[in-house]
Structure 1
Amino acid sequence: MPISVELPSLGESVVEGTVSRWLVAEGDTVTVDQPLVEVTTDKVDAEIPSPSAGVILSLQAQEGDVVQVGAVLAQIDTEARGSAPPPEKKPEAVASLVGETAAPSPAPEVVKSDLAEPRATPVARRMAEEARLPLERIEGSGSGGRITKQDVLRHAVEAEPSRPPAVMEEQPKASQGSVKNTPAYARYTLQSGDRVVPMSPVRRVIAEHMVYSKHTSPHVGTVAEIDMSAVDQLRRSHKQAFKETHGFSLTYLPFIAHAVVKALREFPALNASVLEEAIVEKRAIHIGLAAETDRGLVVPVVRNADRFSLTGLAAEIEDLVERARSRRLSADDLSGGTFTISNPGRQGNLYGFAIINQPQVGILRVGEIKKRAVVLSSGGQDSIAIRPMMYAALSYDHRAVDGAPANAFLYRVRELLEAAEIEI
């Protein structure tokens, strides 16, 4: 008896996924819970297991296709006892798929009506609303012309260059050597010796999110220089005992997260989201921690971070980082963040501005802690000392946050770290 393998729900906010790699082929014999396919979502990678033993009758999605939750991925004959030849391919087999890889069949002409609303996936509709892009102007590449999130992202990028530049009353004449009619962007032409590396599904998701965030939020940045002497001394004095007691090392990140959480409670404008014509300041503080893995960037979330002591934060961070490296994070572990901290690493990382993780309005990127000569003032006298210093760069959404509160928030983070009045 044939049964269908559908894309299950992989998280509260996940409505679609990309077929990354098939682990079986048509005609293969499979067992219960055998992994059939790898699927990538904007939250997590997952393997979809077989619900029953049998023979694969058909694969109804190709690698690279975007499918909705509930869509049929494959058909399994549960009564078959051995391998079976693959059935003939039917052109309508991918009718339920959404993606650019499937060639769209010619559609009959449809008379547009002002009352007819364009067909779009839930994610595409939400993204278009947040970016204030009319769906009527976006060409859909999905089944039956349905608009996908890729269509919204492509339209958002193409819309900016298409706007005519402001014309000044007087413009200097172009010199003989200047370039006229320069296009908004130019495609690169492959040269001999170039190596083309296709984007992995995870890389594509990251790229889409970065483009979407830069288009949605007007990013502004501010930087603070922080003396980490007090934190460094506190950490060193508890380092050995902490590891013996808890079984893992005490790093600087929990101290930074602890200071950020306290500052967010005092400056709720940074713990917010823009919702249409309003700004929502969130009561809960869920801290996202950008982490690099062998599959790309992920941002696991410490929920209700303000309820943890420093030791509790350290334990939560250690658990999330370990599960990120071993690919054991769930979609829920990667969703719901209200503010993000990014620490790209220790080597050569002075400072830089990170891209906001939508729909948040702020992200703090910290650099390496490096000993530098600094000027200290005490009792009207200046002196030079060697101190462990760190740059912290705050990127914030200017729709929701102005410069004064953003600077005040960052200065408060600096105060808390330089005082380091924390119990361990």
Structure 2
Amino acid sequence: MDQGNTAFLLICAALVLLMTPGLAFFYGGLVKAKSVISMMMLSFGAMGLIGVLWVLYGYAIAFPGSEGLIFPWSIDSSALGLSSLVEVPEGAAYPPLAFVAFQATFAIITVALVSGAIADRAKFGSWMIFATIWATVVYFPVASWVFNFGLADDGSFAYGGWITYGMQEWFGVGAIDFAGGTAVHINAGAAALALALVLGKRVGFQKGVSVPHNPPFVLLGAGLLWFGWFGFNAGSELAADGTAALAFVNTIAAPAAALLAWLVVEKIKDGKPTSVGAASGAVAGLVAITPACASLQPIWAILLGLLAGAVCALAIELKFKLGFDDSLDVVGIHLVGGLLGTLYLGFFANGTGLFVGGDGTQLLVQAIAAFSVLIYSFVLAYVIGFAIEKTVGFRVKNEDEIAGIDTVVHGEEGYVLADRQA
């Protein structure tokens, strides 16, 4: 067992877990002051819930072995509750539980991302019900499609999920998704769109009505996300080596370029570059580089970042044109950014991209992977959300939404600056 690689993987898992509190700050700063606790609790609720579900059965679904590579329900019962894990081959770089911990943090952040689409108007209990079902029937299986891989007794690669490895048998090249452009960002973005449609628009929804109540929170959250994202991307190599270093550099280059591009678009479009725009641009670049971080030269990562920053800055306006209320731009940043980063590999992936020595096959498999996850997640999220809305109810009353839902749902206020009794 390589202690260096084990330590690397465990540290990266801790970094990815930090992303969820970072997301809570990012989302919390974007909503109104009377909804900040409710918004942040959606992320913290996901941490508690998905952390438990992953240990109980999530890992068993996502990594079922070679029997469930498309519909991973042929789970090994011995993996339920992590009571018994398949032993890794002699000389493996890390123990199985290190990988379990690393993948648990991916599941947590993916579910938390969805919550940004339902800010200011969702019941906490209904959100927890949705998160339980969606994680079980959508995230865990999709994670298997992308991240599931197996080793033979001699340590050589034996099998993998259909998105990243199965299509290699069908098309001669597999889809590239190094750290979760499909499984995390397209998956979460499609579910966010579905929930935005199910819950409907906020009261008085129109451009310019809702403004971020705390931009410093947004910047703090973006900073924590960027810091944690190094574990997300570099850690997906599962080893401290040159590929991890390339992913690390690209995780600097792409979001930095995206930040600048977003600010330029804001300056041209609105006359002023904003702090929230800088934070959003950095996140858009991080999203786009996630699937591509180990498959691009840094110069192409910069170009991807510029495209992501500009395209996502324009994409967030779609909700006003198309009439859906994606409160915190999960669709405009994560779905659009995830699609952009995934499809970009079809053109610039090292050795297989259309413009760097390959043909159109890589672009084809990237598109199949991206839109398969998008459709699967959207349809099931819509069905789950609609069923919850029609039974226990998903949305709070209009009067509670207008007043701010922190006191109604959680009995707390985000900002109590003086003792009222005094």
TM interval, shorter chain, is under 0.3
TM-score, scaled to structure 2: 0.24
Bigger fraction of residues in helix:
2
